[in-house]
């Protein structure tokens, strides 16, 4: 998943433009503030992802900042998209998604997790997981008294959309090096004001995979406080030890859980923006009521292609996890050789390293210097944290392993030479 929402702000460098933007009323400002993009003087900054990617382009550095692959996905999926275009699948698909993709998502959930879904009522196709998250939160949040609980650090769109919806974000910190939540802190954070408990597992940016005790406690607290569980599971097939376990499989969870995933990370098609929401029909209908006024529909020829991808044999899914595990190990070894302390991720694209052994005291400053110092781009973990918790992540840096082996080897060599 990328954090590119508000890249229009990269053009706001002229003071007169900034003043005009600051004078425009509307929800955009609290959205930017929620994402941490409003400076002390009120100016709007680009996301750290836009800034670091621009720095990579300017310096020729290897971009291990943003989480997008540099290799195409399986030929069967790409060929299915070409065939769909040639066959005329180029107009609006049905509002919920093409029936075959709805069916394929339901089949996938049953095949891998034993979850039984009605494809016509309990699945909704979206413009990627980011739209699914936005539509879900906008649908379920009802005002400023509602709270959304997330684990921190967190994907930047969570805070932005919660702010857009006018609700309050409450966070439970994940701490170096294992990034597992303290269950007592979770219990004290979830209250009767909690409308949504939002769980990203496997977790971006830390690479954590939560244990069964965390899943069980989330479900218990949701039942106790009558909250809806929303899960972001886009890295579900990129778990390195064992299999992914959706919260919806925990007893008592399915009737109050909306599960979100997407094709981008599994099939290396991040630019296609095909995602989905699944869960109880009444909750899915609520999301559809909002989603239909966002993108309406999208990706007509890509939908049958992703249906084909979801039906690939088991060997494909185990293969992508094994391949990324090897890349994780390659990147981790390179980071350790360069002098970083490394948290070994259990899933996702990402590895978090501590730059303190290299003398860093400010991860953002370290990352802005790294492209010229070592020819590599990374992202400071503080970009994923609320201001009051950033000190806890002051020297931590996120690297993405979803690149070609030769690229990772080159990055490791550059970092070692610079260290």
Angle at 279 between CA 204 and CA 103, to 5 degrees: 100
Provide the residue ranges of all domains of the chain, joining segments of one domain with +. Answer: 47-71+316-418, 75-310
Beta bridge partners of 172: 151
Second-level CATH architecture of 75-310: 3-Layer(aba) Sandwich (3.40)
Q: Which of 345, 347, 343 has its CA nearest to residue 355?
A: 343
Q: Tell me how far apart the alpha carbons of residues 40 and 197 are, in angstroms, rounded to a whole number.
A: 30
Second-level CATH architecture of 47-71+316-418: Alpha-Beta Complex (3.90)
Residue 96 has a pLDDT of: 98
* Burial class of 97 by CB neighbour count within 10 A (0 to 12, 13 to 18, 19+): buried
Q: Is the dihedral of CA 171, 179, 416, 323 positive or negative?
A: negative
Q: Are 288 and 330 in contact (CB under 8 A)?
A: no
Backbone φ and ψ for 69, nearest 5 degrees, come out as: -70, 160
Angle at 233 between CA 319 and CA 50, to 5 degrees: 95
Residue 22 has a pLDDT of: 63
Residue 2 has a pLDDT of: 37
Q: Quick one: angle between helices 281-291 and 128-140, nearest 10? A: 100
CB within 8 Å of 321: residues ≥ 6 apart = 237, 238, 239, 240
CB within 8 Å of 220: residues ≥ 6 apart = none
Global confidence as pTM: 0.94
Q: What is the mean pLDDT of each run of 10 residues along the chain (419 residues)?
A: 35 44 85 91 88 94 94 97 98 98 98 98 98 98 97 96 98 98 98 98 98 98 98 98 97 98 98 98 98 97 98 98 98 97 98 98 97 97 96 98 98 92
CB within 8 Å of 314: residues ≥ 6 apart = none
Q: Are 375 and 414 in contact (CB under 8 A)?
A: yes
């Amino acid at each position: 998943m990328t954090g590119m929402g508000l890249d229009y702000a990269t053009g706001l460098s002229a003071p007169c433009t900034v003043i005009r933007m600051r004078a425009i009323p509307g929800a955009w400002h609290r959205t930017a503030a929620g994402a941490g993009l409003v400076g002390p003087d009120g100016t709007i900054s680009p996301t750290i992802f836009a800034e670091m990617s621009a720095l990579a382009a300017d310096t020729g550095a290897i971009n291990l900042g943003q989480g997008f692959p540099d290799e195409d996905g399986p030929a069967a999926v790409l060929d299915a998209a070409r065939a769909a275009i040639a066959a005329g699948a180029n107009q609006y698909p049905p509002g919920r998604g093409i029936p075959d993709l709805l069916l394929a998502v339901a089949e996938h959930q049953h095949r891998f997790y034993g979850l039984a879904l009605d494809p016509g009522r309990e699945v909704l196709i979206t413009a990627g997981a980011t739209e699914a998250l936005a539509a879900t939160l906008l649908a379920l949040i009802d005002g400023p008294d509602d709270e959304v609980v997330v684990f921190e650090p967190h994907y930047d769109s969570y805070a932005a959309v919660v702010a857009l919806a006018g609700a309050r974000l409450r966070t439970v910190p994940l701490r170096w090096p294992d990034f597992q939540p303290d269950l007592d802190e979770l219990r004290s954070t979830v209250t009767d004001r909690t409308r949504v408990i939002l769980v990203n597992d496997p977790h971006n940016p830390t690479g954590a995979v939560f244990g069964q005790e965390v899943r069980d406690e989330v479900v218990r607290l949701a039942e106790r406080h009558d909250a809806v569980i929303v899960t972001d599971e886009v890295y579900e097939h990129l778990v390195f030890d064992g299999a992914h376990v959706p919260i919806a499989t925990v007893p008592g969870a399915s009737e109050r859980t909306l599960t979100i995933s997407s094709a981008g990370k599994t099939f290396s098609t991040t630019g296609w923006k095909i995602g989905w929401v699944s869960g109880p029909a009444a909750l899915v209908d609520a999301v559809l009521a909002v989603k239909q006024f966002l993108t309406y529909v999208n990706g007509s020829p890509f939908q049958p292609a992703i249906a084909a991808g979801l039906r690939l044999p088991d060997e494909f899914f185990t293969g992508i996890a094994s391949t990324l595990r090897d890349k994780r190990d390659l990147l981790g070894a390179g980071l350790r050789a360069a002098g970083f302390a490394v948290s070994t991720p259990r899933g996702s694209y990402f590895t978090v390293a501590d730059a303190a052994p290299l003398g860093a005291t400010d991860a953002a400053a370290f990352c802005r210097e790294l492209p010229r110092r070592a020819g590599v781009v990374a992202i400071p973990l503080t970009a994923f944290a609320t201001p009051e918790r950033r000190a806890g992540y002051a020297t931590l840096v996120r690297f993405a392993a979803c690149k070609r082996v030769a690229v990772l080897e080159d990055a490791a060599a550059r970092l070692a030479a610079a260290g």
